[in-house]
Structure 1
Amino acid sequence: MTTVLAFLGSPRRDSTNKMLLEAVQAVAPEGIDVVAYDGLDKLPFYNEDVDVDGHRPAGFDALRSAAAAADAVLVVTPEYNGTMPATIKNMIDILSRPFGDSAVKGKPAAVIGSAFGQYGGVWAQEEARKALGIAGAQVLEEPQLAVAGAAPRFEATPPAEDPEIVAGIHAVLDALVAAAQELEPAAS
């Protein structure tokens, strides 16, 4: 079983990215457990002054432990003003510490998302991939999944029933699993 820890960038109840993450969980092939991390929007913003023993917010340790225990990471993000939302940036900042030994160091990571616009949030995805790479993750540049015009598209056909989206989800999950399996001998 490969565990993929998924982070949702939008806490909005009717978020198209929430619908996309639910589709990822629904269509994940056998042997892949996609676990959605809950509570990104409740984490305090990263501050190095409080990231010390005795002062560290409990949420920081919980986030780092969950990421460290997963085989791979999947970020599902909308695009806000041409970049990723603060919840995703804050999550990456927290995971990036301790410097040089982050909870995502060497861990396979992919970024997907949906947006109302015609490009499907590709700028947000590029920014998230860049930040994850700097944090130490083994970021997969391909395959990518950026769903444009998501609101009307999902209204017409739910993402878990859209053959193009399902194929994109499978490609991303297959790539994450392959990357995680390549790391297994090194971890043993």
Structure 2
Amino acid sequence: MKKIGFFVGSLRKDSFSKKVAEAFASLLPDGYEAVFVKIDSLPFYNQDFDDVGPAPEVYNTFREEVKGLDGVVFVTPEYNRSVPAVIKNALDVGSRPFGKSVWDGKPGLVVSVSPGGIGGFGANHHLRQSLVFLNIPTLQQPEAYIGNVTKLIDENGTIIPDTMKFFQMITDKYVEFFEKNSK
């Protein structure tokens, strides 16, 4: 079973990003398992935790969980033309101590979600900059900017069928990319 970690950048209970992430997770084929990784309890990264110690136990738990993943999917809203701090913090915690990054080589997918028309373009691209440095090969095409998300969710909180078809196409391309790029 291939484990794909989902990292959701919105902590809001009824978050659009969470709904989108759950929709993508439901589309993974047999042989793949979606793992939603908890990132909201990670203290802000402080290098003293690693250099002087002790690192918070939640850091160790998080790092071990990410080590056990085969691929990663980031679903993020856009805050002030960038990613929420909780996503950046998770990347920082997982990338340290120096030389022991848990992210290295895990095939990735970036999905940005926004009620606005440009679909979180700024967050998507800022996140990709960090992923390049962390050596997370990331699906380039199709790009996944989910704009006007409030129009893509019905009154029951379910993603509408036409949008699910689009999500399936992205998921299929990610799985193909994953198979070519996994270790």
TM over 0.5: yes
- Where does residue 143 of structure 1 map in the other structure? 142
For 1:141, give the aligned amino acid: Q
Once residues 170 and 17 of structure 2 are traced to their aligned partners in structure 1, the CA distance between those partners, rounded to angstroms, is: 15
- Where does residue 87 of structure 1 map in the other structure? 86
Structure with more of its chain in helix, by fraction? 1
- Where does residue 73 of structure 2 map in the other structure? 74
**TM norm structure 1:** 0.86
How far off its partner does 1:47 sit?
0.8
For 1:169, give the aligned amino acid: F
For 1:173, give the aligned amino acid: T
- Where does residue 96 of structure 2 map in the other structure? 97
How far off its partner does 1:22 sit?
1.4
Q: Do the aligned partners of 2:27 and 2:171 also contact (CA within 8 Å) in 1?
A: no
Give the fraction of aligned pairs with identical amino acids, expressed as a percent.
32
Q: Do the aligned partners of 1:145 and 1:168 also contact (CA within 8 Å) in 2?
A: no
Matches within 5 A, 1:9-158: 9-38=9-38, 40-52=39-51, 54-155=53-154, 158=158
For 2:22, give the aligned amino acid: E
Query: Which range moves more in the overlay, 71-80 or 145-154?
Result: 145-154
Structure 2: 5+ residue stretches without partners: none
Listed one character per residue, the Cα deviations across residues 102-142 of structure 1 (whole Å, up to 9, x for unaligned) are 10111111110210111111210111111122122122222
Give the SS at the match of 2:112: strand
- Where does residue 3 of structure 1 map in the other structure? 3
Query: Which range moves more in the overlay, 85-94 or 99-108?
Result: 99-108
Once residues 8 and 161 of structure 2 are traced to their aligned partners in structure 1, the CA distance between those partners, rounded to angstroms, is: 20
Give the SS at the match of 2:35: strand
Give the SS at the match of 1:51: helix
Structure 1: 5+ residue stretches without partners: none
For 2:166, give the aligned amino acid: G
Once residues 6 and 138 of structure 2 are traced to their aligned partners in structure 1, the CA distance between those partners, rounded to angstroms, is: 14
For 1:45, give the aligned amino acid: F
Once residues 96 and 62 of structure 2 are traced to their aligned partners in structure 1, the CA distance between those partners, rounded to angstroms, is: 11
How far off its partner does 1:153 sit?
2.6
* Inter-CA distance 101–15: structure 2 relative to 1 (3 Å threshold): same
Q: Do the aligned partners of 1:2 and 1:177 also contact (CA within 8 Å) in 2?
A: no
How far off its partner does 1:99 sit?
2.8
Equivalent of residue 171 in structure 2, options 162, 170, 173: 173
Give the SS at the match of 2:169: helix
Once residues 16 and 166 of structure 2 are traced to their aligned partners in structure 1, the CA distance between those partners, rounded to angstroms, is: 16
Once residues 84 and 109 of structure 1 are traced to their aligned partners in structure 2, the CA distance between those partners, rounded to angstroms, is: 16
Listed one character per residue, the Cα deviations across residues 15-46 of structure 1 (whole Å, up to 9, x for unaligned) are 111110111122322222111112x1211111
RMSD of Structure 2 on Structure 1 (CA): 2.0
* Inter-CA distance 167–32: structure 2 relative to 1 (3 Å threshold): farther
Once residues 43 and 150 of structure 2 are traced to their aligned partners in structure 1, the CA distance between those partners, rounded to angstroms, is: 30
Q: Do the aligned partners of 1:71 and 1:108 also contact (CA within 8 Å) in 2?
A: yes
